[in-house]
Structures are given as C-alpha cells and as structure tokens.
Structure 1
Amino acid sequence: MTITATSLRAKFATAGVIAAALALASCSPSAAPSAAPKTEFNIGWSIYAGWMPWPYAQQAGIVKKWADKYGIKINLVQVNDYVESVNQYTAGKFDGVTVTNMDALTIPAAGGKDTSAIIVGDYSNGNDGILLKGANSLAAIKGRQVYLVELSVSHYLLTRGLETAGLKSTDVKTVNTSDADIVGAFNAPDVNAAVAWNPQLSVMKGQAGVSEVFSSAQIPGEILDLMVVDTATLKANPNLGKALAGIWYETMALMQRQDAQGKAARAAMAKLSGTTPEVFDQQLKTTFLYADPKAAAAAADAPALVSTMTKVRDFSFSKGLFKGASSADAVGMAFPGAKTLGDPAHVTLRFDDSFMKLAADGKL
C-alpha cells in the first residue's frame, strides 16, 4: 500500500496552530456573536474514511439537492492538510469543517471561536492503535521510547492505554514523529513501540513480531469525528444545519446498502480518497459510523459524552494545549439538556443535537 499525506486524517494540532488560534480572540464570549443571514457557505473537509461521504455526496448531486431545498449553496472544499483545514475554519475562511472532538476543542474553541458540533459522524473503533515489537502485553511498554505524533489523538490514546495498565506518562518517553514518517521509523530495528492510525497502522501491524496491545476499540466513543459549524453563522442561518444533516443521512443510508448501489457508492468514496474499494472497506470496519440519526442524537445526549470530553480536555490542558489558561475549566463546553463543562460564562464548544433529531423525526 502506498501511503501519502493526502490519504490520511492527520489528527494533530501543533503549538503554532494553537497560538495562531488564540491570537484570534483575547476572550471567549458566553453567547455566540451575531452574524448576518446569507445564502452561500463553504465547508472544509480532508480525506479520511469517515468523512468521504461528504465529497461523494457532492459528486452524486446529494449536496445540491439539499442545498436547493433550502435555497442555499454549499461549497465543499477539500484541504489536503487536515490541520490546515481546521486552522482555516478557525480563521473564518470556512463556515464549517470536518474535525475530531479533540481538535474542535483545542483549536477553534480554545482560540475563542464559538463552534457547534451538529453531526456526530463516527468514532474510531480500531482505526488507532498502540504497537509493540517482541511483546503482546501493554505492560511491556514501560521504559520504552514510543514513536507517535505528539499532542495528537495518538498521544491521547497512549495516555488512556497507560491508565488501563496502571502506568503513567512518565513511564515512557515519547518521540515526536510525523504521520508521513512513522512507518519508516517503525521499520528501524531499534524502534520497538509506536502509536499510529490507519492506514499506517495496518501496514505497521503487518511486520513480523509486532503486536497491537491497545486500540481505540477499547475506548469506544472517545475519538469522535464531527461536522462543526460556526455558531453565529448557524444561528443566523439554521437552514445550513438542516441541509448538512439531510446530506449526511441520505448519504449514510445509501452507503450502508449491500446492493449494487451501495457498493458503487463505497467504491466511489474509495476512489475519491485515493485507495481501492477493498482497502476502503477495511477502513470502514474500524470506523463506527452513526448512520442512524437517532443513534447519533443519543450519543450526543448521553452522559458518556460529558465524561469523554472531560478526559479530552484534561489531557489537552495537561499538555499545554489551552495556552495561557490557568485551569482545564477555561474553555467551556455545552451539551444537550443544558449541561455544561468548564466555565459556563465562556462556552465556545457546543454539542447541538437539534439537527440530528430533525433527521431522526423525518422533519428535514
């Protein structure tokens, strides 16, 4: 398998990106600022199995169908660098973007950009894993150098894995390695521990003597992939949220089908992501898609989401990703049912279940 930078969800935020985001706002408002109604919107996306329904929907005319229904125009814009797509959203170039829950928190929300997660699309269910050479137990990682993309979801996975083994972050030493270089680095004889995501993960697991000792399947629901939209834009233009939900769930229903049409849709998504249908289907097997809007809304409403985001924000704060903040509570989050986490006067990340519920109730 050939791995390229454009075929991955590069799930990390550098300190420079965080600093740039924080420079956008010196304080975080408790309510979203006002925005004007408009009819044309730009949504950024990057290549990852769980996000390929978006460009496919554009290619298949599903985006236009739903945009026309609400009298708007939606432009889906591919950005080859995932971090850059989130950074551009944070800077105001995009009205929405595909992003992980951790990066939604640490880039736009931590930078003061009020952001609403309107679609909980999927969670990693084995797409991310910890690998060891010459051992089949996570306990054997103690004292090793672990190669990974630091301050990333991989770093978060490592921390959660260590917790389950009764170990601390200080029991290992991390070696920052880019997603483009990690397969080559793990090939070196003296490198015996790494954390990676697919498709690199599957390539690295294929080496002789390598065992996957922990994966995201053991922390289901913690590494989430979202569609987020600028809160002020959404408030002024609720039809954008309705159209996006309509696009997503129509495409989900199509790609879940096991007939010729479903197979053709998945094959088209594979081609758009630069891989084969077989490889794409393997990636989908370790991606838990919330194809049913009722299930997605339930995930957004569940107490488990608050627990997950508590873990994510505590990890992020411990790694200095809330630059200049004195506590993990500095970045406020809001959840369905008026639940909040952190400072309720400075909420900048909101999990909005309303559009998923409209889809579930057939009211789009």
Structure 2
Amino acid sequence: MGTLAGCFWMAENRLRAAGVKRVVGKRDKRLIAGAIAGVEKRFLHIQVGFAKIVSCRLFVHLCSSNIAAIMGFDIPMKTTLLTVGLALFMSLCAHAQEKLSVGWSIYPGWQDNALMGLKLEPGKPSFLERRTKEAGAQVEIHKFKEYTASIDALVAGKLDAVTLTLSDAMGIPLDSGVPVTCILINDYSNGNDAIAAPKGSKFEDLKGKSILCEQYSVSQYLIWRALQIKGQKSDFVTFRNTPGDECSKVFLTAVNTASPVTVATWNPHILRIMASGKAELLFTSKEIPGEIVDMVVVRTDRIKGRENAIAAYVKAHYDVMKYLTDPATKERAIRAMASTSELTPADAPLFSEMLAATHFYYTPEDTIKFMESPELKAQHDRIRTFLKEVGAFKGANPDSYQVTFDTSFIKQVK
C-alpha cells in the first residue's frame, strides 16, 4: 500500500478513535486501497506548492464518489472528504520533500558542516534550519571520524554527498564507477600539508631515502610535486606506506634515535612535529597554491530531485562563511569550529594556526571564479596524471575520468 493509502487509514483510525460507529470494512478497504493506489501513481511527482494543493483537491474529487459509496461514516460527507483531503495533502507534502544526506570528516575547511547546524545566535534557528525551511527540503549532516569511511559510504550509496579532496574524488568514487559532481569548493591547502625531516636537513639529503606517507593520498601528491619542482626524478626517493595520523608519532619516536625518519603528512600532525623543535620543513603546500583542493561532491545520479536541498546546503555554507569573516562574530565562529574539531585540549590552540594555513573561498564570487577557471581544469588533469603514474587507478579507462564542476547552485546564493 502506498504513502497516500497509509495516510488514509491513519485518518480512518482517528475517526474510529473519535467514536464514529461505522468504519470501513476489510473488503471495502481493499477496494479503496486499489482506487487510491491508481491515483497515487499519477500525483507523486507533483512538486511542493500551489500545484500540490490543486493536485490534492483533484485527488479527492477523483476518489470522492467511490469513497462516499463505500465508507458509510455516520458523519457528513463534507467532513469526511475534508479529513481525507487534509491527510492526503500532508502525505503528498511529506513524500515530495527533498532530502539530501551529506557526510563530512574533521578538517578546518569542512567545519562549516558542524557550524551550519548549530544555533549560534540565541532565539534564532541554525543556518541550515532556516535555509531548508525556505526550500521546503531536508538536509542530514553526518559526521565521520574516519575520512576514508565517509567516501566509502558515498560509493556504497549510503550518502548523497561527501567532503573530500579533488584527488580522492578521482581516485575513489570515479575509479569505483560512481560519477560525482562538485557543487562547492571549500578551500585549498596553503601550508596544512608538508614534508618534515630532522632538524638541519635539506631537500637534497633525501636522495635514496624513504619517506613515510599515506599511499595515493595528498601527501604522496605533495612529494610528487616537490620532486618535479626540485627537478628530481621519481626514483630520487622511495615511499613507505604509513597512515597520515601515524606519521607524527613515528617521527617523534625516531627523531632522537640513530634512525630518524622523514614524513609527509597534514595538520595538526605537522604542527605537532614542528612544536618539538627537532624538525625542518622541506616543502609545503604553500609552494603549490590551488593544487590540494578540498570540496563537496554529490553523486551525479542523486542530483535530480534534490536540487532544492542542494541549494539550501550551499546557502547555509555561505552563511557560515559570512559568520566567520564578520568581525563581530569571527572569534565566536573560530571557537565553535575548534570545539567541534575533536582536538585534544593540548592541540586546541593549534586550530587557529590550521585556519591560517587554509585558503578559504569565502564568497560565492571567489568560488565561482576558481571553479570555472582554466587553472582548476589544469589541476584536475595534473591530479589524474599523478594517480596514473603511481598506480592508484584500478579501472579500465582512467583517461576518461572526469569530475564535473557545477556552479549553478552557488549562483543561487544571494
């Protein structure tokens, strides 16, 4: 039985509870269920708004003659139809309301996902609540402790959208046969990623040595780019696959031994390493601005039918950006971001340094300019070349991999 039919029986049960003596029998219920199901199929596609109201009235009109003959309620038919019509209208509205699920993991550029759901001002709704109410849509924000797990959830169809880097968009969803569309670029790393070696080291000292980094990650991309810029071949160093959040622990354990190591990782791990006073930064993402890109993608097959929800999410993002840049609320915004980042008390002061090493696209205009730029297209192709060279792709035709960039939702922000 469909949504409308279920809502009809809910109305009938309420009438029974109100003391109406004659209610619909089992045989009659089957007849009404069939009548409703037939009409239901013709109206589920109608959007929320005036057309929905008209469709509901038409639905009642189409069903009323059969309902009148079958129901036999001991109340006026006008009241019966009004009750049924209201129940059906509510059902239609609930059924057609768009719903978007977004997954995110902790990173300065993605903390907006936490803030947009908070009531930052007393007596006022959250940014996301206000925007979804305007759009007549729902947006569910899901926080993941593990970055890769959020991307896997997108690939498995458990999420509609997720926060990730450009390289991982190509290396995981696309390589798994799941086309994705970028609806928003949050930022690029402007020092949050780095290669750290023992104090006093120089880049040329790395020849023939191993660098610890997470395989196929932006850390390996950083090394790949560093070798290009320094004029070195790929065999100048070797890689030892190590989870990014383990690199700082290994570095700090080995730095005082006869076998110190060099690592490539991201913040806050780099900041922890540098705080020891025993490390040297040999190369950082500040030297390749606009290349390590953080963004939000939607499964391309989940965009249709969720346009209003996506637009509401994007608008809520820029509400957070405005809150973050307004001198009157900036410090409050930073404190809120830090409180949702799950940093240890010892690392909490590092959050402001992480923000400083993140180049945000604060306005719709700046984001659109970058998303539609030839520089981003060139970076997209460079990332694909990198992933091919290091053997990250498992698909048959990686040359065809293309992340779609869609600025239409950002252009709706006013």
* Same structural fold, with TM-score higher than 0.5 when normalized by the shorter chain: yes
Partners of 1:324 and 1:98 in 2: CA distance: 22
Q: 1:329 aligns with which of 399, 405, 409?
A: 399
Give the direction of change, closer, same or farther, for the CA distance of 1:37–1:123 in structure 2 (3 Å limit): farther
Answering whether residue 148 of structure 2 is matched by residue 78 of structure 1, we say no
Give 2:107's aligned residue. 48
Q: 1:182 aligns with which of 242, 247, 267?
A: 247
Structure 2 letter corresponding to 1:280:
F
Q: How far off is 1:136 after superposition?
A: 4.7
Q: How far off is 1:278 after superposition?
A: 3.3
Answering whether residue 187 of structure 2 is matched by residue 122 of structure 1, we say yes
Give 2:265's aligned residue. 196
The alignment yields a C-alpha RMSD, in angstroms, of 1.7
Q: Deviations over 1:105-136 (max 9, x none)?
A: 11111212121100011000000001122445
Answering whether residue 372 of structure 2 is matched by residue 318 of structure 1, we say no
Q: Is the 8 A contact 1:126 1:286 kept in 2?
A: yes
Aligned-pair identity in percent equals: 30
Aligned 1:73-222 pairs, distance under 5 A: 73-187=138-252, 188=254, 189=257, 190-222=259-291
Q: How far off is 1:62 after superposition?
A: 1.0
Q: Deviations over 1:180-233 (max 9, x none)?
A: 321221120312311110000011123344211110011111111111112222
Unaligned runs of 5+ in 1: 1-35, 334-348
Q: How far off is 1:71 after superposition?
A: 0.5
Matched residues, number: 307
Q: Is the 8 A contact 2:196 2:264 kept in 1?
A: yes
Partners of 2:188 and 2:277 in 1: CA distance: 29
Answering whether residue 414 of structure 2 is matched by residue 357 of structure 1, we say no
Q: Deviations over 1:284-315 (max 9, x none)?
A: 00000101110111101111111111111011
Q: 2:339 aligns with which of 249, 260, 271?
A: 271
Moved more, 350-359 or 214-223: 350-359
| TM-score, with length taken from structure 1 | 0.80
Partners of 2:395 and 2:333 in 1: CA distance: 46
Partners of 2:216 and 2:336 in 1: CA distance: 33
Partners of 1:57 and 1:267 in 2: CA distance: 14
Structure 2 letter corresponding to 1:329:
D
Partners of 2:199 and 2:151 in 1: CA distance: 38
Question: Aligned with 1:59: secondary structure?
Answer: coil
Q: How far off is 1:81 after superposition?
A: 0.9
Give the direction of change, closer, same or farther, for the CA distance of 1:138–1:38 in structure 2 (3 Å limit): farther
Q: Which of the pair is proportionally richer in helix?
A: 2
Q: Is the 8 A contact 2:315 2:410 kept in 1?
A: no
Q: Is the 8 A contact 1:130 1:215 kept in 2?
A: yes
Partners of 1:358 and 1:74 in 2: CA distance: 17
Partners of 2:166 and 2:368 in 1: CA distance: 15
Q: Is the 8 A contact 1:129 1:197 kept in 2?
A: yes
Q: How far off is 1:280 after superposition?
A: 1.7
Q: How far off is 1:234 after superposition?
A: 1.4
Partners of 1:142 and 1:165 in 2: CA distance: 12
Structure 1 letter corresponding to 2:129:
K
Moved more, 293-302 or 135-144: 135-144
Q: How far off is 1:38 after superposition?
A: 5.3
Question: Aligned with 2:172: secondary structure?
Answer: helix
Partners of 1:309 and 1:67 in 2: CA distance: 32
Report which structure shows greater RCO (CA 8 Å, sep ≥6): 1
Q: Deviations over 1:67-125 (max 9, x none)?
A: 11111111101111110100001111011111111111111112121211000110000
Q: Is the 8 A contact 2:310 2:409 kept in 1?
A: yes
Q: Is the 8 A contact 1:185 1:191 kept in 2?
A: no
| TM-score, with length taken from structure 2 | 0.71
